[in-house]
Structure 1
Amino acid sequence: MNDIAFEFVQQLGTELSTGNLKLPAFPDVAVRVKQVLESDDVSADKVAKVVGSDPVLTARLLKVANSNFANRSGAQIKDLRTAVARLGYDLAYSTAVSIAVEQIMDSKSVDTIRDQLKALWQHSVNVSAIAYVIAKNHSNVNPDEAMLAGLLHDIGKYYIYTRAKDHPELFDNPESIEELQKNWHTGIGHAILEAWHFSDDIANTASDHDDLQRVHLGKPDVTDVIITANLCAYWEKLGDDFDWDKVTASQRLNLDHAAIQAILEASGEEIQSIMRALGC
């Protein structure tokens, strides 16, 4: 590790240990959607009112509601209340979160690392779509929760990239930045999601999604789904020789190589539809 990388790691370590991460503000519209969903008298009308205050979220929510995966009847929806009622509150919130992360990513301050962030966002949306399919068809995990977790599981990488942009020398050595991501993004991601007041289950997917031998007692949980979906997103890169029998999460889901291949082939159109709906 060179001196610049070492200095950056020391900085990350100090921020993480002291809880003094320089967090980006979670965009206001997502916060307001979360607040109304947590209220005792939540209704589709109230959610639609909050969504309607943001034209970007309004357009995205209608796009999701009319997408192939959410709209089996083919009847087009043009009003927000019906869209919220069709999608449900959790999926409406996942849509708000997808907009929020994009807004963080699209800041002018990240122009120098936009390509890296775009690739990372593409991966996150892919994992989110695969997680939705796996949760819906092969577990008792709420598929909307799995979708949300998929969108956020790599949030620590966004943080590292946005902090590393102030040290452009780090990007001269791809191996160096990759090592930083590998060693630090999970702990930082967990800290960010806690600070943004996501549930422990969602935060744990950020910290544990790279643990292929994760020990978990009981039924498969959302982290098992995200671990498996994250690997599925690298399906071609992993190749036929990858030993799924060593992945405890996929074993708990009772998914081996052949079963996962069948899922990806059978659900390919649905996965692509979800990704398009979420903005990819």
Structure 2
Amino acid sequence: MNRVEAFRSIAEQAQRGELIFPTNVAASLKIQKVIDDPDCSLETASKLILTEPLLAARVVSVANSVAYNRFGGTVTNVRTAIPLLGFRTLHSIVASVVVRQISGMIIDPTLSAKAQKLWEHTAHVAALAHVIARRVSHVDPDTAMFAGVVHEVSGFYLLSRADHFPGLLDGELEEAAATFEASIGRAVLAKLMIPKPVTAAVESLWYGLRVMPPETLGDTLILANDLAKVASPLDLRSEASSQQDASEIDFAIGDGTLASILAESAEEVRSLTAALLG
């Protein structure tokens, strides 16, 4: 089976809803569904999160990041962390755990290394998107961070399936394979119940053009992706060219510039990235 045939096979399965996820993803999606309920209480959310140790640790870690804990003091438990974060940020953290769980299916060491680098890229994009949304594009920062967390979820899924299709992600993608990749991506995003505005932002990253200064959620995600210091190992561009492009991005924002805002926010980005990485 050649690469295009492999992509076609995976895409056809995805379109039928036959996505292969590890069993722990179902538990995380159940938590996500409960905390999305407007009537979900702090006590209910706390108890659910404590059933997943990795999720609980991530929630406390993000609550202690500079982005959320601006007034000092150490957050030591989930119940204290949730009000500080808010339920929308909590949704992003659950999504980050789901993404990691998908990559946990990977057996091949080379693919596993790619997944680790892809997660580093993802965490940095999510942190940058949060800052850019808050200080530049003025879209909702929590939604922007969530879009950053899930923007490569189709890549993680393909890496998890590549164990069964040797050579699937070697080299550049043919045009036909890239088309199938987008189809697979939409199916994965739908299965994970990603809201339509976020799905639209991810699709704009696949097909959109950079708009400067950014105005929409999609623009914010594209800029964060271009500025990420860790390039996606699945990006068709080389890491060197991606970083060169990023170094050339700057524009005026009020009395400052994008570069000055990023410099001022560097510790916030670093702290939030580290918290997401866990």
TM-score clears 0.5: yes
* 2:264 counterpart residue number: 266
* TM-score, structure 2 normalization: 0.81
Q: Select 1:8's aligned residue among 6, 9, 12.
A: 6
Paired with 1:116 and 1:108, the residues of 2 have a C-alpha distance of 10
Q: Give 1:4 deviation, angstroms.
A: 1.8
Q: Select 1:41's aligned residue among 15, 39, 42.
A: 39
Q: Give 1:31 deviation, angstroms.
A: 1.9
Paired with 2:127 and 2:183, the residues of 1 have a C-alpha distance of 24
Native 8 Å contact 1:153 1:189 kept in 2:
no
* 2:188 counterpart residue number: 192
Call closer, same or farther: CA 1:211–1:266 in 2, change over 3 Å: farther
Paired with 1:148 and 1:110, the residues of 2 have a C-alpha distance of 28
Paired with 1:39 and 1:13, the residues of 2 have a C-alpha distance of 31
Aligned residues: 263
Call closer, same or farther: CA 1:22–1:28 in 2, change over 3 Å: closer
Moved more, 113-122 or 183-192: 183-192
Q: Give 1:20 deviation, angstroms.
A: 4.1
**1:273 is aligned with what amino acid?**
S
Call closer, same or farther: CA 1:186–1:10 in 2, change over 3 Å: closer
* 2:19 counterpart residue number: 22
Structure 1 residue ranges without an equivalent (≥5):
245-249
Paired with 1:265 and 1:214, the residues of 2 have a C-alpha distance of 21
Report whether the alignment pairs 1:210 with 2:228: no
Call closer, same or farther: CA 1:180–1:57 in 2, change over 3 Å: farther
Question: Could you give the per-residue CA deviations for residues 104-148 of structure 1, whole angstroms, max 9, x where no partner exists?
Answer: 212364545100111111111111010000011112311111111
SS in 2 for 1:274: helix
Call closer, same or farther: CA 1:166–1:89 in 2, change over 3 Å: same
Q: Select 2:116's aligned residue among 103, 111, 118.
A: 118
Q: Give 1:30 deviation, angstroms.
A: 2.6
* 1:228 counterpart residue number: 223
Native 8 Å contact 2:63 2:84 kept in 1:
yes
* TM-score, structure 1 normalization: 0.81
* 2:151 counterpart residue number: 153
* 1:247 counterpart residue number: none
**1:158 is aligned with what amino acid?**
F
Percent identity, please: 27
Mapping for residues 133-152 of structure 1, pairs under 5 Å: 133-152=131-150
Structure 2 residue ranges without an equivalent (≥5):
232-239
Call closer, same or farther: CA 1:181–1:95 in 2, change over 3 Å: farther
Call closer, same or farther: CA 1:105–1:189 in 2, change over 3 Å: same
Paired with 1:241 and 1:162, the residues of 2 have a C-alpha distance of 29
Paired with 1:267 and 1:126, the residues of 2 have a C-alpha distance of 13
Alignment RMSD? 3.1
Q: Give 1:182 deviation, angstroms.
A: 4.9
Native 8 Å contact 1:60 1:95 kept in 2:
yes
Native 8 Å contact 1:187 1:207 kept in 2:
no
